[in-house]
Structure formats: structure tokens, C-alpha cells
């Protein structure tokens, strides 16, 4: 069991820092990680069985009590570390997928936001503007600004959480 954990930790660490360079690659890496995690978690049945047998041996006062206790404790600790690392990587990959999605959404809106700003600044055929028209235009600018700010804030927050989760800051 220790060999299985070591082998799979090595496989896991080979791709640990890879979180995707775009939305599609982040999704692909996330799916691969989910498959890997599912296969790894299926092994927990074996770990649990070993822990149950160790507990029974300890209860019967087996002559190798201390060694059984040491091995069982080490196995449980190794498994918990591996399981926690799988969960952490899954969370980071979910943040990466979210970041790329929100960043793409933000970038896809830039052209529309630019067009709306330019259209609002174009002179109208009639140079006379009443107060209502100006207030409506101010309101439109405020809505546009709110939209841009919200989209930027969402992308920035996901970026911050991803960077923090990866231990880069």
C-alpha cells in the first residue's frame, strides 16, 4: 500500500503545478484530475481494510503490537496527506477553470463596452440636450461602469484566490 501511495504521489506531483493556460486546457486538466482522484479514492477501500485488520490485531494483543501500531499510523497519515493534496489540487483547478471563464467573459465584453462609450460621446444631430436626456446618458454610463467594475472584480478575486491557493503570494 505504501508503494502504491508513493507511486501515485509521484504521478500526482508531475502535473501538480499545471493549471491550464486557457479555459479549455484548464477544463481538460480538471477532468483528468477528477478521473485520477476517483481512481485514487477507490483505493481507500484497501486502506480502510488494512486499518480495520490492524485494529483487530491490536485488540487481540498481537505480539507485534508496537510495529502494527506504527505501520497503521504511518499508513493513515500518508493516506490523509495524499487525500488532502488531491482535494487542494481539485479546488485550485476549479478556481483556474472559473478564472479562465470569467477572464474570457470580461475580454469578450471589452469591444461592446468600448462601442457603448464611443456611441455615448458622439455628437447628436440635435445639439440641444435636455436635462432628461443628460440624466439618461449619465445613468447609462453608470450602468456601464458598474458592469465593467463587477466583471473586473470577479476576475481579480478568482485570480487572487487561485494565486493564494497555489502558494504564489
Inter-residue contact 162 to 102 (CB < 8 Å): no
Q: Give CA–CA dist 49/96, Å, rounded.
A: 36
Please check the confidence at residue 122 and state whether its pLDDT lies above 80: no
Q: Where are the domains of the chain?
A: 2-165
pLDDT tens figures, 1-16: 788 888 888 888 888 8
Q: Give CA–CA dist 92/161, Å, rounded.
A: 9
Please check the confidence at residue 42 and state whether its pLDDT lies above 50: yes
pLDDT tens figures, 129-148: 677 777 887 888 888 889 88
Inter-residue contact 23 to 95 (CB < 8 Å): no
Q: pTM here?
A: 0.73
- 2-165 CATH choice from 3.40.109.10, 1.20.58.60, 3.30.70.120, 1.10.10.10: 1.20.58.60
Amino acid at each position: 500500500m505504501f508503494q502504491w501511495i508513493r507511486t501515485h504521489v509521484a504521478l500526482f506531483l508531475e502535473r501538480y503545478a499545471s493549471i491550464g493556460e486557457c479555459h479549455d486546457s484548464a477544463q481538460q486538466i480538471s477532468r483528468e484530475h477528477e478521473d485520477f482522484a476517483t481512481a485514487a479514492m477507490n483505493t481507500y477501500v484497501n486502506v480502510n481494510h488494512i486499518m480495520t485488520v490492524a485494529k483487530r490485531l491490536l485488540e487481540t494483543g498481537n505480539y507485534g503490537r508496537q510495529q502494527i501500531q506504527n505501520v497503521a499510523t504511518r499508513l493513515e497519515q500518508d493516506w490523509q496527506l495524499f487525500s488532502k493534496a488531491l482535494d487542494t489540487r481539485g479546488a485550485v483547478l476549479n478556481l483556474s477553470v472559473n478564472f479562465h471563464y470569467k477572464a474570457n467573459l470580461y475580454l469578450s465584453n471589452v469591444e461592446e463596452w468600448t462601442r457603448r462609450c464611443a456611441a455615448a460621446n458622439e455628437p447628436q444631430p440635435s445639439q440641444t440636450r435636455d436635462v432628461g436626456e443628460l440624466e439618461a446618458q449619465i445613468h447609462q454610463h453608470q450602468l456601464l461602469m458598474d458592469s465593467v467594475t463587477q466583471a473586473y472584480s470577479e476576475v481579480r478575486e478568482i485570480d487572487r484566490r487561485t494565486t493564494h491557493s497555489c502558494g504564489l503570494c
